[in-house]
Each structure stands twice: as structure tokens, then as C-alpha cells.
């Protein structure tokens, strides 16, 4: 709490994970709300993903970093949860809602290396660290000679593992690196058409109880309609595919002249096969757009690459 608010009851109890990136994101939301005169109390909550140490594939992906925050919302321990939207399960809880998506940061993935400056610069059999099956499949599609190894931990932990020589390079979201001031660590920023981003990458999801009209009203001005509808289209596509964060699925959205374009990509886990489909709609038809792209992907044969669903 700020000094001026120290003796006042908070208007919003904001739940957050305790990682460096989660705290940055939640403090940004807190500061934006305080500019509007809203008193915000940060409440740090440890999620399952913060406790478990295995790979995402071993411990399960959906909701690892978000479920405990959602439980706190449902139990009215907090009024607002700030999520990295790509971590939030695509099946919405019936009692909760994503009330706002602030302006989105870049969706691009970044290659971070102390020796190499691009994907093409990596030598044969270079060891690449990523905890994402989406990134792994696309990297193998582009460079089947690479050796992909799992990496876990927050941004700082992963950078330390790279610096210790465990990997030739690691892949991280550019958004997280930029938010934490690590932009100089980016060796190469993948064009999103080259490495199709994760659903919701670079976006924050501000989640509340559906019935909490007061909190919904207080955070409404933080919502960016373009970022919101882009994210909703991507999430609708993933939901229609019955896929989660352990599936090799990517999504890329653009808005031009109030038209929303969505490209979906599904790959085999070994990266050998890649299916892409693209559709366009009015901005506010984001959910139906996501559904259409998913249906086209399934028609094109994507289902066989989504059999290991979480």
C-alpha cells in the first residue's frame, strides 16, 4: 500500500503470484488504478506452478499458475486477479469473468543467447531451452537438427541457467523480458509469422467475479477493446480445438480498419507437420472468428496432433 493509503481500507484486494514478472504486472495494474483514485491492496498467493518443480508435461499445464488465484476470487479472499493471459485456462469458470485486457505488449518470442544472434546462427545440435511444446515443435519445424531441452523457473532463473552454460540459447516471451528491463538480453526477436505466438501471449487478463459489478466498473477503463477482442478470438480458437498449454498450438491476430484477422497454427510434436488456417471478421465477432479458424484447422487434419490433450 502507498503511504497515503496506509490507514484506509482498500477498495480492491488484488491477488497476484509472487514471481518477479507477476509482481511487475500486478503493480502496474495497481498504479493505473491508483491514478483513478482506487485504493488497492496487493495480496501475494502461491500457486501450484510456483510449488511444483517438474516439467509442465509431468505436472500438468492447465491452471497451474492461475487456479489458486481463481479459488481466492471464489472464496472472496480477493476481488481481482491479474493473470498472464496465456496461463489462464480457456474454459471460463461460470462464476468468473475476464473483465479487462489492458493494452497488449509485443506477442513475439525471443531467442536469448550469449554467443549466437539468430536461429540460423546456431550450430547443428545446439541445445535450446524451453518449457513450451508450442515453441519446441516450431523450432524443430524450422531446425530439426536442434536439441530441445526442458527448462523451468521464472525469467531470472532461466537466464541464470543460460549464463551457467546449461544451454546454447533459451526461448522466452519478449513481453516478459521487456517488462522486467531485460531487453538487452534479447539476441533475436522472432517475427510472429516465423514462430507463431501462444494464445494470449503478451496480454494481461484481469479476472473478477461475474457478480462483482463494483470491481468490474472500477477496472473498466483499463480495458483496451482491440487487445480484448484479439485475446478472445485466440482463446475461442483454443477452446474449440479442445487444446491447452501442452498442445503445439499457436495463434496470431492483427486488427486493421476494424477488421480482426486470426491465423491459427497446429503442429505435430516433432515439428515435422504444420497446419495453418486464417480468417477475418468484424472486431466484435471475435468469438465466432476463433471458432471458425479452429473448425478449419480440424477439417485440415489438426485433430491428430491434439490427441495428447490436457
Query: Where do the domains of the chain lie, and which CATH numbers do they carry?
Result: 1-103+203-223 (3.40.190.10), 109-189 (3.40.190.10), 224-310 (3.30.160.40)
Per-residue pLDDT of the chain (310 residues; tens, 9 = 90+): 333 444 568 899 999 999 999 999 999 999 999 999 999 999 999 765 444 455 445 444 555 568 899 999 999 999 999 999 998 988 889 999 999 999 999 999 999 999 999 999 999 999 999 999 999 999 999 999 999 999 988 899 999 999 999 999 999 999 999 999 999 999 999 999 999 999 999 999 999 999 999 999 999 999 999 999 999 999 999 999 987 667 899 999 999 998 999 999 999 999 999 999 999 999 999 999 999 999 999 999 999 998 654 4
Say if residue 82 is exposed, middle or buried (CB neighbours under 10 Å; 0-12, 13-18, 19+): buried
Residues 6 or more apart in contact with residue 39 via CB below 8 angstroms? 1, 5, 8, 9, 10, 11, 12
- 87 noted as active-site residue: yes
Alpha-carbon torsion angle 18, 23, 26, 28, nearest 10 = 180
pTM summary value: 0.90
CB atoms within 10 A of CB 214: 11
Cβ-contact 74, 45 below 8 angstroms? no
Q: 164 — phi, psi (to 5°)?
A: -80, -5
Q: pLDDT at position 58, please?
A: 47
Cβ-contact 291, 236 below 8 angstroms? yes
Distance of CA 120 to the CA centre of its chain: 26
Strand arrangement of the beta sheet that strand 40-44 belongs to: 40-44, 12-16, 80-84, 204-209, 96-100
* Marked catalytic residue, from 11, 79, 87, 109: 87
Cβ-contact 105, 202 below 8 angstroms? yes
Query: Could you give the C-alpha distances from 209 to 31, 78, 203, 217, 267, in angstroms and in order?
Result: 21, 10, 20, 12, 35
Q: pLDDT at position 181, please?
A: 96
Amino acid at each position: 500500500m502507498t503511504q497515503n493509503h496506509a490507514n484506509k481500507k482498500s477498495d480492491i484486494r488484488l491477488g497476484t503470484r509472487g514471481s518477479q514478472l507477476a509482481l511487475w504486472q500486478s503493480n502496474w495494474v495497481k498504479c493505473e488504478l491508483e491514478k483513478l483514485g482506487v485504493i488497492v491492496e496487493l495480496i501475494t498467493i502461491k500457486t501450484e506452478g510456483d510449488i511444483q518443480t517438474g516439467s509442465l508435461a509431468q505436472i500438468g499445464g492447465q491452471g497451474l499458475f492461475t487456479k489458486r488465484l481463481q479459488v481466492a476470487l471464489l472464496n472472496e479472499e480477493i476481488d481481482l486477479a491479474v493473470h498472464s493471459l496465456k496461463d489462464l485456462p480457456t474454459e471460463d469458470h461460470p462464476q468468473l469473468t475476464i473483465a479487462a485486457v489492458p493494452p497488449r505488449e509485443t506477442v513475439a518470442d525471443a531467442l536469448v543467447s550469449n554467443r549466437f544472434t539468430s536461429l540460423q546462427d546456431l550450430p547443428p545440435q545446439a541445445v535450446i531451452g524451453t518449457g513450451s511444446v508450442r515453441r519446441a515443435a516450431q523450432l524443430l519445424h524450422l531446425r530439426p537438427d536442434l536439441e530441445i531441452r526442458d527448462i523451468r523457473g521464472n525469467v531470472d532463473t532461466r537466464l541464470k541457467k543460460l549464463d551457467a552454460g546449461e544451454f546454447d540459447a533459451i526461448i522466452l516471451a519478449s513481453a516478459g523480458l521487456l517488462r522486467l528491463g531485460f531487453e538487452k538480453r534479447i539476441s533475436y526477436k522472432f517475427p510472429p509469422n516465423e514462430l507463431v505466438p501462444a494464445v494470449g501471449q503478451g496480454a494481461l487478463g484481469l479476472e473478477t467475479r461475474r457478480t462483482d459489478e463494483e470491481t468490474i466498473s472500477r477496472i473498466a477503463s483499463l480495458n483496451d477493446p482491440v487487445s480484448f477482442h484479439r485475446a478472445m478470438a485466440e482463446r475461442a480458437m483454443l477452446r474449440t480445438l479442445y487444446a491447452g498449454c501442452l498442445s503445439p498450438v499457436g495463434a496470431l491476430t492483427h486488427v486493421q480498419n476494424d477488421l480482426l484477422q486470426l491465423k491459427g497454427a497446429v503442429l505435430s510434436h516433432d515439428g515435422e507437420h504444420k497446419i495453418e488456417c486464417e480468417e477475418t471478421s468484424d472486431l466484435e465477432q471475435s468469438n465466432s472468428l476463433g471458432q471458425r479458424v479452429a473448425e478449419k484447422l480440424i477439417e485440415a487434419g489438426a485433430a491428430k496432433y491434439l490427441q495428447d490433450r490436457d
